[in-house]
Chains A and B, each alone.
Chain A
Amino acid sequence: MFEARLNAATTLKKVLDAIKDLLNEATFDCSDAGIQLQAMDNSHVSLVSLTLRSDGFDKFRCDRNLSMGMNLGSMSKILKCANNEDTVTMKAQDNADTVTFMFESQNHEKVSDYEMKLMNLDQEHLGIPETDYSCVVRMPAMEFARICRDLSQFGESVIICCTKEGVKFSASGDVGSANIKLAQTSSVDKEEEAVTIEMQEPVSLTFACRYLNAFTKATPLSNQVQLSMSADVPLVVEYRIPDLGHIRYYLAPKIEEDES
């Protein structure tokens, strides 16, 4: 028996919005520690890793480990039927081939049940090595989303260049070029508006805008976003979901041609 309840459906809605652009379907692995999801997008360029801890739920019960393959488009349709303030409960029997979403209105007068068929999916678990990143940048999530959106008008890829002084995002294309520099915030009044940089070594990497823009769909989940980078390894973009867990995106860098 699996049962997980959240007092506000809005969080689950936002989580789904954050992953459904990259993944059409995915397997939710449930255990008594919580819910985990790890999946690469179709093109094998990026990876989504979602962790929702059991203690972050208002009620959580998972008697046996359970893997539920879901079509995220269908799941999104179902969650659209919930009001933001509704209590949402996910339920499944052991070895079930369906999952049930139950929405209860705040005044408990309306209860809706949606049952969705589960899918059998090919699952590839990737081992992500522990890495000490050369640069770790924290910045307001909204700011990052804005930068990605603005720069994608100029080119297909963004160069992220991080030094002690600050972090620079640049793009160039047929129209011309664009550069955005962010310096480290000197005085931290509001933590969520701060830009902080921890740097061991300067890094400059190139990434496809398309994927960065897809990652910023997680912006509503968190005030701050954390970018971790090292030369020649995938970028990690992390959004913390307050009191519940986190969502991490990994993105393979673009590689210069002459290396081969």
Chain B
Amino acid sequence: MGILGLSKLIADIAPFAIKEGDIKNFFGWKVAIDASMCLYQFLIAVRSDGAQLTTVDGETTSHLMGIFYRTIRLLENGIKPVYVFDGKPPDLKSGELAKRAERRDEAKKALEKATEAGDEAEMEKFNRRLVRVTKEHAAEAKELLKLMGVPFIESPCEAEAQCAAMVKSGKVYATATEDMDALTFGSSIMLRHLTFSEARKMPVKEYFYEKVLKGFELNEKEFIDLCILLGCDYCDSIKGIGPKRAVELINQYRNIETIIDNIDKSKYPIPEDWNYQVARELFVSPEITDPNEIELKWVEPDEEGIVKYLCGDRQFNEERIRNGVKKIMKSRSTSTQGRLDSFFKVLSTTPKRKPEDDKKNVNKKIKLNNSSAKKGRKPK
């Protein structure tokens, strides 16, 4: 999922591009949420006694629980969420999807084994691996969001790409997802851990695209090539090239074509029919709906509708649901506090410099310089 090892790489090379903050700090912003990622999280995490919550007929309802309460939590913190759902997967993803299906089959077999053996810990582990977000889950979530008065968008293709386009156009402030390829798609600001449960006390991580580029000393195209080298969902990567090597190569040769021309192919075999160009094209100009045609509206929730939808067969507690709806109403009635930084623009930032950090960076630079000096070229 996403880009292999990118978050760790950013933390190492461009730590100043990441800011940790409390969910409260994001009040007043509109945020595009990657719905599939979010539903998946809920299906995994929202459980009681290790089993998913279900209706009387055994249909899963964990995702509805998650959508309902986590959305309320966002609204209560003054954040305006808009959920973006995946459309059809791009053709290139079929390889990745096939791999995932394979892994699921393996997990299924392992689960059967574990059930036979009666090993409960193993059973739970593989049960979770079997989780996938189906069309029905998504449809139910949309139905609920509609009742809650929260807008959602169906992306023609990948949700992260749509989110990124909305951030770039200024329609929303940031993309909230765990999937790092939101950055590859050029989302100016990306939030991680926004939809995590409050109990986990996980700070929200804010990634700034511009600062990431600056930290890596790459332009947008070069950054995409780096992500492909690291390993993305759309094509293979070159075996034997890890994150460190990938950064060095990009810094030295600036694009995949030149890298292919220059590296030792016996040591690093190029994958057969490597369609990195198509993958690159997918990142550069993905299939999206024009953000300017999207209208986002947060409207009054339909209390009776929600109660009817969630209680009854789906076995939610009516009192709790009504309380939840009241919270939505309250978040709507209180006028939102404006943000000063939406009026005044940041002119310059002087990042924090810690003496140890400086040293680390210098060391890294020297290393990079050395390795490229051998090949007779300095990184730009």
Contacts and interface: CB of A to CB of B under 8 A. Distances in A.
7 contacts: A45-B339, A126-B340, A126-B345, A126-B347, A129-B344, A233-B343, A260-B296
Given A126-B341, A126-B347, 5 more contacts: A122-B350, A125-B346, A250-B340, A257-B333, A257-B335
A132 interface: no
A253 interface: yes
A128 B25 contact: no
B376 interface: no
B245 interface: no
A214 B87 CA distance: 49
A254 interface: yes
Interface in A93-150: 120-129
B340 A254 contact: no
Contacts of A120: 352-354
B348 interface: yes
A208 B337 contact: yes
Contacts of B240: none
A234 interface: yes
Contacts of B349: 122-125
Given A157-B335, A257-B333, A127 B298 contact: no
A127 B345 contact: yes
B24 interface: yes
A241 interface: no
Given A120-B354, A260-B298, A252 B337 contact: yes
Contacts of A46: 340
A156 B336 CA distance: 12
A234 B337 contact: no
Interface in A125-184: 125-129, 156-157
A30 to B, nearest CB: 15
Interface size class of B (residues with CB under 8 A): 20 to 34
A200 interface: no
A121 B16 CA distance: 12
A125 B340 contact: no
A250 B340 CA distance: 8
Contacts of B348: 124-125
A38 B161 CA distance: 37
B351 A122 contact: yes
Nearest to B338: A252
B129 interface: no
Contacts, number: 86
A24 interface: no
Contacts of A206: 335
Contacts of A40: 340-341
Contacts of A187: none
A250 B339 CA distance: 11
A45 B347 contact: no
- Which 7 A-B residue pairings sit nearest by Cβ, starting from the closest? A252-B338, A126-B344, A123-B350, A127-B347, A254-B335, A252-B340, A122-B352
B24 A43 contact: yes
Contacts of A67: 350
A253 B352 contact: no
Contacts of A157: 335
B332 interface: yes
Contacts of B352: 120-122
Interface residues of A, number: 33
B80 interface: yes
A47 interface: yes
Given A252-B337, A260-B80, A126 B24 contact: no
Contacts of A42: 25
Contacts of A260: 30, 80, 296-298
B80 A255 contact: no
A257 B348 CA distance: 31
A67 B350 CA distance: 11
Given A42-B25, A43-B25, A124 B346 contact: yes
A256 interface: yes
B342 interface: yes
A84 to B, nearest CB: 34
A257 B336 contact: yes
B339 A252 contact: yes
A254 B342 CA distance: 12
A256 to B, nearest CB: 5
Contacts of A47: 340, 344
Nearest to B297: A260
A47 B339 CA distance: 10
Interface string A223-260: 00000000001100000000000000011111111001
A77 interface: no
Contacts of B336: 254-255, 257
A258 B344 CA distance: 23
A40 B338 CA distance: 13
Interface string A58-77: 00000000010000000000
B340 A234 contact: yes
A44 interface: yes
A166 B296 CA distance: 39
A100 B135 CA distance: 66
A255 B332 CA distance: 12
Contacts of B332: 257
A43 B23 CA distance: 11
B347 A125 contact: yes
A128 B335 contact: no
A127 B350 CA distance: 14
Nearest to B342: A252
Interface in B310-352: 332-352
B335 A44 contact: no
Interface string A17-50: 0000000000000000000000010111111000
Contacts of B28: 255
